[in-house]
Amino acid sequence: MVRLFAKAAMVVLAGTAMTPSVACASLTDGLSVRVGMAIPSSGGTINVGGGFVPTVEAPGLRNQVDFGAWGGGLDYKLKGIPSLFNGEGWSTSISADFHYSKRKSGIVRVIPVALNQVCSLESNGACKPYAGFCVTAATVSGDGLANTTRWGAGLILGADFMQKLYFEGRYEWIDSTGGVPDTSGFRTYMGYRF
**Annotation: CATH topology of 2-193:** Porin (2.40.160)
Query: Model-level pTM greater than 0.85?
Result: no
Integer angstrom CA distances of residue 91 from 28, 86, 103, 110, 118: 17, 10, 38, 26, 6
pLDDT of residue 70: 93
* pLDDT of res. 80: 75
Which of 18-22, 126-130, 141-145, 154-158 reaches the highest mean pLDDT? Answer: 154-158
Rounded CA separation 86/2 (Å): 39
Of 71 and 14, the one with more pLDDT: 71
Over 70: is that where the pLDDT of 152 sits? Answer: yes
Name which of 20-29, 36-45, 124-133, 181-190 the model is least confident about: 20-29
Confidence of residue 26 (pLDDT cuts 50, 70, 90): confident
pLDDT tens for 154-182 read 999 999 998 899 999 999 999 887 777 78
Mean pLDDT score across all residues of the chain: 79
**Domain boundaries in the chain?**
2-193
Residue type at 108 in one-letter notation: V
pLDDT (0 to 100) of residue 68: 85
d(CA 164, CA 190): 11
